[in-house]
């Protein structure tokens, strides 16, 4: 193994130097009874379908950290270019960053060529990057868009293989969604039909897969128009509590009361609302 000297520029790719140290730390942690935090994954059901005038992309909105829901309303349909969007499943950070990098490179490419970008170009860039990292970037993507050559839909796997198909699903809920597609997909559907089909496929994922949940986001891409519908459907509405469990004031008797005023100067006030729904 070549040793790294200060003068040598480090080659690209991941550095696995700390893997041994991390393994030792994890072993010690488990001995004390704790576990290391799990990377936030998006569980997920994502899918896409080609219809008469364009493509419809759909996604659920649940992000999980192990068995806990980290984000009830995260956005999994990422912008790549004005006419191309990409749904991402797998490790949340990987899908977010990968799509942002390719979106940036694609914009520079479009300015350089003087033409609107093509979906095939985005596909090439994504697959070549993911192959270079040999699957260590855990991003499974559904890429869709409309360009000068018509509507296109690709599925891209973490190791860098891609498939160009009329309908695709990815993520832990992909089998449930694919079942819906295999039953009801037809060529040259109308926009309304296609939206309903995608909505039903994502709903199948939400209700039958623990890793998917919350709302359904849709993105309808046609030649001259993008409809980013977030949320399209709130499949899981939180119920209204029928009883109030709050205790009335005076339930607990107060014995003594001692008020000490603190002499403080208010420098800055920041209010961040928590989602207590």
Partner 1 sequence: SFQTTIMAVEFDGGVVMGADSRTTTGAYIANRVTDKLTQIHDQIFCCRSGSAADTQAIADAVTYQLGFHSIELDEAPLVQTAANLFKEMCYKYREELMAGIIVAGWDKRRGGQVYTVPMGGMMVRQPFSIGGSGSSYIYGFVDSSYKSGMSKEECLQFTANALSLAMERDGSSGGVVRLAAISESGVERRVILGNQLPKFASC
Active site residues: 44
Q: Which residues bind partner 1 (CB under 8 A)?
A: 124, 127-128, 130-131, 134-135, 155, 157, 159-163, 165, 174-175
DSSP alpha helices (H): ranges in the chain?
19-31, 92-113, 119-132, 174-184, 191-208
Write down the least CB distance from residue 10 to partner 1, Å: 20
Supply 96's token pair: 């977010």
Tokens 């799509």 belong to residue: 99
Number of neighbours of residue 29 by Cβ within 10 angstroms: 12
What is the secondary structure of 51-75 as a DSSP string? -SSEEEEEEE--EEETTEEEESS--
Write down the least CB distance from residue 71 to partner 1, Å: 26
Going by DSSP bridges, is the β-strand pair 54-60/46-50 parallel, antiparallel, or unpaired? antiparallel
CB distance 227 to 220 below 8 Å: yes
Number of neighbours of residue 197 by Cβ within 10 angstroms: 23
Write down the least CB distance from residue 240 to partner 1, Å: 40
Burial of residue 221 (number of CB atoms within 10 Å: 0-12, 13-18, 19+)? buried
Query: CB-wise, 40 or 124, nearer to partner 1?
Result: 124
Write down the least CB distance from residue 158 to partner 1, Å: 9
Write down the least CB distance from residue 31 to partner 1, Å: 33
- Angstrom distance (rounded) from CA 12 to CA 2: 15
């Amino acid at each position: 193994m070549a040793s790294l000297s200060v003068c040598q520029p480090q080659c690209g790719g991941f550095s696995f130097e700390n893997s041994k140290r991390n393994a030792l730390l994890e072993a010690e942690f488990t001995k004390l009874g704790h576990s290391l935090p799990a990377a936030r994954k998006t569980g997920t059901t994502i899918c896409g379908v080609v219809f008469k005038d364009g493509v419809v992309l759909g996604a659920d909105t649940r992000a999980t950290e192990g068995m806990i829901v980290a984000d009830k309303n995260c956005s999994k349909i990422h912008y790549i270019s004005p006419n191309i969007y990409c749904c991402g499943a797998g490790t949340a950070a990987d899908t977010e960053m990968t799509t942002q990098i390719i979106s940036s490179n694609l914009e520079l490419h479009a300015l350089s060529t003087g033409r609107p970008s093509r979906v095939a170009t985005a596909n090439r860039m994504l697959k070549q990057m993911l192959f270079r990292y040999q699957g260590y970037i855990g991003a499974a993507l559904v890429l869709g868009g409309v360009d000068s050559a018509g509507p296109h839909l690709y599925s891209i796997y973490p190791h860098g293989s891609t498939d160009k198909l009329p309908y695709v699903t990815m993520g832990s809920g992909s089998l449930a969604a694919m079942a819906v597609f295999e039953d009801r997909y037809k060529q040259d559907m109308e926009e309304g039909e296609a939206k309903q089909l995608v909505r039903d496929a994502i709903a199948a994922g939400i209700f039958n897969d623990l890793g998917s949940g919350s709302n359904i986001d849709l993105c309808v891409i046609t030649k001259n128009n993008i409809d980013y519908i977030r949320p399209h459907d709130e499949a899981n509405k939180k119920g209204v509590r029928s009883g109030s469990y709050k205790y009335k004031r005076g339930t607990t008797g107060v014995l003594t009361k001692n008020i000490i005023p603190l002499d403080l100067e208010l420098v800055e006030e920041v209010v961040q609302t928590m989602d207590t729904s």
